[in-house]
Amino acid sequence: DAGVIQSPRHEVTEMGQEVTLRCKPISGHNSLFWYRQTMMRGLELLIYFNNNVPIDDSGMPEDRFSAKMPNASFSTLKIQPSEPRDSAVYFCASSPAGGTFEAFFGQGTRLTVV
């Protein structure tokens, strides 16, 4: 198995532009998570899907952020418009049915907004 696949690995964009991050979870996993990591705030949960349905989006910073999971093998996190404070590493993770003690993380997308 290739693991959780995220794209792009690096993204540099100008303030105000739309950014879309992509994630392919491990086949058969029915839980998907988006996390954001910064030095100041650590690893923060943004949103959690179970069976493609958003269960908890209380971590989404504001309306500029949106996430979708149209099917079991794909999810997107969109930021529109982007701001410099959105610069961070964004991780997607998935876990199998029955619990989330063990989440499998993708390699992350390093986003820089200038």
Partner 1 sequence: GQSLEQPSEVTAVEGAIVQINCTYQTSGFYGLSWYQQHDGGAPTFLSYNALDGLEETGRFSSFLSRSDSYGYLLLQELQMKDSASYFCAVRTGRRALTFGSGTRLQVQP
Q: How many residues bind partner 1 (CB under 8 A)?
A: 22
Q: Say whether residue 103 binds partner 1 (CB under 8 A).
A: yes
Rank residues 90 and 113 by Cβ distance to partner 1 and give the closer one.
Answer: 90
Least distance (Å) between residue 21 CB and partner 1: 14
Q: Say whether residue 33 binds partner 1 (CB under 8 A).
A: yes
CB 72 within 8 A of CB 52: yes
Rank residues 22 and 81 by Cβ distance to partner 1 and give the closer one.
Answer: 22
CA dihedral 22→4→67→52, nearest 10 degrees, is 130
Tokens of 81: 């418009």
Q: Is the backbone peptide bond immediately before 8 cis, with ω within 30 degrees of 0?
A: yes
Q: Three-state DSSP class for 16?
A: coil
Residues that bind partner 1 (CB under 8 A): 31, 33, 35, 42-43, 45, 48, 50, 55-56, 91, 93, 99-108
